[in-house]
Amino acid sequence: MGNMRNVGGVTSGLTAALTAPALAHQGTVADYSSGVRQSSKQDPTTQYPQPPFPPQRQEPPGLTSKMTPRPDHGETSYRGSGRLVGRKALITGGDSGIGRAAAIAFAREGADVAINYLPVEEPDAQEVIEFIQAEGRKAVAIPGDIRDENFCRKLVADAVHELDGLDILVNNAAAQVGQHSIMDLTTEQFDSTFKTNVYAMFWITKAAMPHLKPGATIINTSSVQAYNPSPSLLDYAQTKACIVSFTKSLAKQVAKQGIRVNAVAPGPFWTPLQPSSVQAPEELGTFGEETPLGRPGQPAELGPLYVLLASQESSYATGQVYGMSGGKGYP
Ligand code: NAD
Ligand code: MG
């Protein structure tokens, strides 16, 4: 683990990802080929797939290619405007879901991007590497398990070495496994969830601090679960609350160094985390239905927020938590 590779030249995955009907569902084939669909004025309730969703379940951490419909990460819709030119970013969980949307958006805004993920997620990671390289930016793939402190230190060291510095750190990786009763929640799962979601954020941020200069930003992915926890996410929800406190405390600690720290608290988003968290395939059928907008968010809808928080445009924002949850939950 921890092998680092710069992957280049392969375009098959990218081509497949672009030509696959990313959001073919219930007879509706979304056409993103013009690249303007996301920014054009439209009804947000029908902009993306709505429940019911076909039954599906995957073993954690799950793969993008096995999701129906396939999530949209802004592959064909996100347009950059030079907001992160020359910046160097490290994104954990950058292979899929929200981290993938951030990686694509950062690269389109001119940043070089390193992504971390688990070795079994290599196929997802390869697609992201190709999207970053397609923008002419440097892409660095660093697989490995962030539950290990030594790997976390190596991850940051390798990213800094390959990118020749670090300006943006996105602590986004997480584990989520639902258990309907506290009696079924094992010490092993509790420990693993906290190692992935909380300890790794601490270890990676600590390793990154000596490299961050004034103007650098840290973005942590929290959740509505921090504010309105689900009964079946007893361990996960606590870690997401930890992330809010960590963000606000660290923001105060490093403000005088000119480093900003913020968090994003998403509601239900259509990512591999969800089919690999449910216990029964049917549980995902109504995913997102309870929100006022009546559907889950797509990762593409979060890319612009991560760009805003990474860029100098959010210069007065630190210690803040930004919600994106379809009208339900906090903040
Ligand atoms: P995702 O599965 O695409 O991303 C999570 C990533 O975490 C995985 O891709 C994997 O690479 C990484 N990961 C998990 N365990 C790891 C380990 N031990 N070592 C290294 N990497 C590991 O799902 P996502 O929904 O995009 O998740 C991204 C973030 O968004 C997470 O922090 C999650 O808690 C948060 N979030 C998601 C939702 C949602 O509904 N999808 C809602 C609120 C918050
Ligand atoms: Mg993944």
- Give the global pTM: 0.92
pLDDT tens track for 122-167: 999 999 999 999 999 999 999 999 999 999 999 999 999 999 999 9
The residue whose CA is least distant from atom 21 of ligand 1 is: 117
The residue whose CA is least distant from atom 3 of ligand 1 is: 97
Domains of the chain from N-terminus onward = 63-324 (3.40.50.720)
The residue whose CA is least distant from atom 23 of ligand 1 is: 273
Predicted confidence (pLDDT) at residue 9 exceeds the cutoff of 60: no
Exactly one of 236, 316, 322, 330 is catalytic; name it.
236
Q: Is the CB of 93 under 6 A from ligand 1?
A: yes
In this structure, are strands 168-171 and 28-29 parallel, antiparallel, or unpaired? unpaired
Q: Higher model confidence: residue 39 or residue 264?
A: 264
Residues 6+ apart with CB under 8 A from 325: 224, 265, 266, 267, 268, 291, 297
Interatomic CA distance for residues 101 and 273, integer angstroms = 14
Interatomic CA distance for residues 8 and 106, integer angstroms = 18
Give yes or no: 199 in active site: no
pLDDT tens track for 269-317: 999 999 999 989 999 999 999 999 999 999 999 999 999 999 999 999 9
What mean pLDDT value characterizes the chain? 91
Q: Is the CB of 97 under 6 A from ligand 1?
A: yes
Question: Above pLDDT 90, what percent of the chain?
Answer: 87
